Amino acid sequence: MDAPLRIAIVSIADNDFRYPIIGPTIIAKSVKDNCKEVKVRLIDNTFEEVYKEVKKFNPEIIGFSTFTQSYQRAIDFAKTIKNEIPNIKLIIGGPHITTLPESFNPIFDFGIIGEGQNSFPELIETIRKNKSVSKIKGLIYFKNKKLMKNKLSEELGDINEIFPLEYTLLNKGYFKKKFIPEIFKFGIQMGMMTSIGCPFNCRFCSIKACWKKMRFRKISNVLEEIKNLYYDYKVRHIDLFDDLFTINKNRLIEFREELKKEGLLGKISFSCQARVNTIDEEMLTVLKSLNIKTIVFGFESGSDRVLKYIKKDSSLSLELNKKAILLCKKHRFNVYGGLMIGIPGEKIEDMDKTIEFIDFAKKAGVSRIWLQILIPCPATEIWELAKSRGKINEDFYKDTSSTYNKEKPLLLDPDVPLEEFIKKYKLAKKKCQYFVYKTILKTILYNPIAILYFLKDSPLYLKRFFNFIKQ
């Protein structure tokens, strides 16, 4: 009997916060479920040295999943591995190659556009049998130096087929106690999704290109995963990674009732992502009853004009952002929020308004605000604008795609002086540091024993600290 085919699913993106990356986990589960005589290993750089572990596992096929920011790193890694194991097959998938297939690098043998949970297992069996790949949907590859693109695959109709996740594939380090900033405690935390996609169409977001429509898991399917996490892995806090968890109030009420039936309501706390125009008293009452502790918003800008432009939604406003914060604080939620700078059409006075918004958030008791420089993602309106300005070139993936590269803000309008932009960026970042220090202090005050946990995991926190300083 032939030895099992060794398949490694690799993620090399930075992951300082120790959340499992869901895409690669879905693909690893799909391979395990649909391919015969395979040995599957999920390897990421959260707890492991990826290169060292890949060498030890000695796979015959490696699947990568990358965002645009980590694509160059995947190319470099692939070149190193291919140089040492020439016969290895390398397959690239994920949001970047899906939204920009023309950037496919020949160091990879194949690329998969779109949802790969069906195409990847089919490709593995085709490689094993040495058959033609021309009929595999969503596949791209070079043939006689020409880029070939097979017919696109259809979206998976029922996403319940790919969930719950297979947690036995994850490194055991994910299930050790750690600091959970959303609840200012130490415990076992995990992330999961109850839906895929978003109904909105912000100018900077590529979600629509990856998930064309919003799809929901059955509540019974969600509960199956939560029970697994609670009873088998002792998870007590779950980050809901849905792009917009608060889109359907009735579904959340159903979710609450099912948690109650299972005797889990109140025993697990949650964090979720929301949009300010889905927040009202009734929604917050439902979220409170679910034991949601932290709500995360994309505030984006303190300038009303810039906010409406970048979110492509005239119903949004600075006042609505502020109202959502005050409502959430009234109901005693932790509020997190993201802001951007270097947005097309943004002037110095708009940046000043964003800085003023950070001051408002501080006074209102927001738990965390972070600031990033807007970068263009493929398959978005912002990407096309950056291209028209001549900002997208071969060096894009190497350094300018960083959301902290203040010297090269790709979307800053040409009439805005770079020196002034850098000053405003530094001032805003300095103000955002307050929220980090506040979290650390609050944790130690509420839970002095936390110092022992920080010391125990000092290498991780030092890494996060140096990344924080670099930013």
Query: What CA dihedral angle connects 232, 186, 300 and 243, to 10 degrees?
Result: 10
pLDDT band at 3 (very low <50, low <70, confident <90, very high): confident
Percent of the chain with pLDDT strictly greater than 70:
92
CB-CB neighbours of 14 under 10 Å: 13
pLDDT of residue 76: 93
Is CATH 3.80.30.20 correct for 176-470?
yes
Kindly tell me the burial class for residue 349, based on how many C-beta atoms sit within 10 Å of its own C-beta (0-12, 13-18, 19 or more).
exposed
261 has pLDDT over 60? yes
pLDDT of residue 219: 98
pLDDT of residue 47: 83
Look at 224 and 161; give whichever has higher pLDDT: 224
Look at 333 and 212; give whichever has higher pLDDT: 333
pLDDT of residue 212: 78
DSSP state of 228: I
Q: What are phi and psi of 29, to 5 degrees?
A: -65, -40
Q: Are 370 and 471 in contact (CB under 8 A)?
A: no
pLDDT of residue 459: 62
pLDDT band at 46 (very low <50, low <70, confident <90, very high): confident
CB-CB neighbours of 121 under 10 Å: 20
Q: What is the pLDDT of residues 344-353, one digit of tens each?
A: 999 999 999 9
What are the extents of the domains in the chain? 5-149, 176-470
pLDDT of residue 38: 95
Residue type, 449: I
pLDDT of residue 178: 83
* Most confident of the following: 14-28, 70-84, 264-278, 374-388: 264-278
Percent of the chain with pLDDT strictly greater than 90:
70
pLDDT band at 332 (very low <50, low <70, confident <90, very high): very high
Look at 398 and 325; give whichever has higher pLDDT: 325
pLDDT of residue 284: 98
1 has pLDDT over 60? no
Q: Determine the average pLDDT of the residues in 164-169.
A: 92
CB-CB neighbours of 447 under 10 Å: 14
Share the mean pLDDT of the chain. 90
444 has pLDDT over 90? no
Cis, bond preceding 164 (omega within 30 deg of 0): yes
Cα 424 off chain centre by = 27
Q: Determine the average pLDDT of the residues in 21-43.
A: 92
pLDDT of residue 404: 75
* Residue environment code for 375-406, b if the CB has 16+ CB neighbours within 10 A, otherwise e: bbbbbbbbbebbeeeebbeeebbeebbebeeb
Contacts 24+ apart (CB under 8 A), 447-450: 447/184, 447/185, 447/186, 450/179, 450/186
Tokens representing 399 are 């350094």
pLDDT of residue 235: 96
306 has pLDDT over 70? yes
pLDDT of residue 400: 54
- Distance separating the N- and C-terminal Cα atoms of the chain: 53
The pTM for the full model equals: 0.92
Name the residue among 70, 72, 81, 59 with its Cα closest to residue 21.
70
471 has pLDDT over 60? no
377 has pLDDT over 70? yes
Tokens representing 139 are 């596949």
436 has pLDDT over 90? no
pLDDT of residue 443: 76
Q: Determine the average pLDDT of the residues in 96-104.
A: 92
Which of 16-20, 65-69, 74-78, 109-113 is predicted least confidently? Answer: 16-20
399 has pLDDT over 60? no
pLDDT of residue 210: 81
The 3-class SS string of 366-424 reads CCEEEEEECCCCCCCHHHHHHHHCCCCCCCHHHHHCCCCCCCCCCCCCCCCCHHHHHHH
pLDDT band at 408 (very low <50, low <70, confident <90, very high): confident
Q: Determine the average pLDDT of the residues in 53-82.
A: 92
Tokens representing 469 are 């300083």
Q: How far apart are CA 338 and CA 336, in angstroms?
A: 7
Tokens representing 107 are 């160091």
170 has pLDDT over 60? yes
pLDDT of residue 450: 67
Any idea which fold 5-149 has?
Rossmann fold (3.40.50)
pLDDT of residue 75: 94
Q: Determine the average pLDDT of the residues in 192-206.
A: 94
Q: What is the pLDDT of residues 451-468, one digit of tens each?
A: 766 666 656 555 555 555
446 has pLDDT over 90? no
pLDDT of residue 406: 86
40 has pLDDT over 70? yes
